[in-house]
Every structure is written in structure tokens, then in C-alpha cells.
Amino acid sequence: MEPQKILEQIKSSGRNAEEVLKMAYDMQRSIVLYESGIQEVRTKLEILQREAQTKGGHTPIETIKSRVKNVFSVLEKLERKGFEVSMKSVEENLHDVAGIRVICPYIEDIYEVAEWLRRQDDLRILIEKDYIKNPKPNGYRSFHMVVEVPVFLADSKRYVRVEIQLRTIAMDFWASLEHQIHYKGPEAVPGSISSKLRQCAQTIAAIDEQMLEIYKEVRALPDKEV
């Protein structure tokens, strides 16, 4: 949603627009914390990725993507969810201001990377949701973790929440299209499209399983003699 529309929506709910703008300004300064949190977690993942590469063979991490929600997206979500519009409310109620997406070749890699993260003794694992074993009704599959990572400032230490989504390449392809549909709004999307999307999710899940099975069979073959 555009910033002006978000402000109009907040104003129509009876909130003082000037106060909201001031909070948006203060929040923008706090965004640096979330950017730093992403940097900390991303560095951990990149180190683990390089370690796997140096060992040779298979690397469980294909790519790493990251983003921080902009201030107006945060304000819109607070308003939509009915939460207080304040920085304290952001820290207490929103888990996805800072997000990292890890794309893995195979399903088993997702669980391996999740275990890597659990072993990081300076990460606090707050939430784990397995949408691979328990997909959402629309067919969405992914493994979600919400962690808290320490960020060391000049005179203090702050724990920052970061959401990590672990997906296969196929899951990420599906989720990208679903994301576009979601922002069209449910009233604008025909039921036939939602039905096709669920069918695609089932097909993708079957392909992921078959690709993993083939990969395991290939891995078990003897190496070519030199």
C-alpha cells in the first residue's frame, strides 16, 4: 500500500496523523537495528555456507536473500492487525520486520540448515513453524524460524528479532507467484486461480520429493575412477 493511503487509513481510524508521522520518523532511526540483525544472521549463514563448500560435495544453501520492511509497511501492518502504533508494539508484536530467505536445493537441506541455526549458542530460537509437513490451506510450504540475535552497539547490547524462511527452489518459485496474488486482494482473485495454485503446490511438493529421491540414488553411485 502507498504511504499516503496508509496515512489516510490511520487518520480515518481516529489517530493523530502528526503523532504517527513523528513515530514513523523515530522508527526509521530504529530500522538500523533490524538491518544490523539481518547482517548478523546473514553472516552466520554465509560462514556455514562457505564451510560446506570447502568440504566439497553438496552445499545445502543455494542462495540467501534478505530485506527489512519499510516504515510505512510496518505502520500498515500494525493498523491492520489492530495493534498499538508504537515502536514498543513493533518489537512485541511483529516478527517479520527483518526477514531472511534461505533457498535450498532439497527438502532435507532445509532441516539441516535449521539444525545449524539451533546450534548457534548466541541465537535465541523463539518460534519454529513447519509448513512443509503441515502446509497452509492455500498450499504454501516453507520452514519458518523466528530468532533473536544480539546486536552490539557503542554502549549497549540489543536483541533483535529476525524471521528466517527456509525453502526449496520450487517452493520459492510458487511463493513468489502467491505473493503477487495476495496483494491483488481476495475479492479480485477468481476461485479458479486459487484452485490452480493449490494444485501447483501439490505438484511442486511431489517434484521436490522425487528430486530428493533421485539425488539420494545418484549420491549412492560409485565415483568415476580416475
Task: Indicate which residue of 40, 79, 163, 178 is catalytic.
Answer: 163
Whether residue 6 is predicted with pLDDT greater than 90 in this model: the reply is no
Half-sphere exposure of 131 (CA within 13 A, CB side): 21
Residue 157 and residue 40 in contact, taking contact as beta carbons nearer than 8 Å: no
Q: What is the structure's pLDDT at 57?
A: 76
Q: Distance (Å, rounded) from C-alpha 172 to C-alpha 110?
A: 12
The b-or-e profile of 158-178 (16+ CB within 10 A means b, else e) is ebbbbbbbbbbebbbebbeeb
* Summary mean pLDDT of the chain: 86
Q: What is the structure's pLDDT at 94?
A: 85
Where do the structural domains in the chain lie, given as residue ranges?
3-169
Q: What is the structure's pLDDT at 19?
A: 67
Q: Which amino acid is at 49?
A: Q
Strand segments (E) across 105-190? 124-130, 143-152, 157-168
Average pLDDT value for residue range 50-74: 89
Confidence class of residue 109 from pLDDT cuts 50, 70 and 90? very high
Of residues 35 and 1, the one with the higher pLDDT is 35
Q: What is the structure's pLDDT at 31?
A: 82
Active site residue 163: yes
Is residue 213 classed as helix, strand or coil in its secondary structure? Answer: helix
β-sheet with 63-68: strand ranges across:
63-68, 98-104, 157-168, 143-152, 124-130
Q: Distance (Å, rounded) from C-alpha 41 to C-alpha 149?
A: 7
* Superfamily designation of domain 3-169: Beta Polymerase, domain 2 (3.30.460.10)
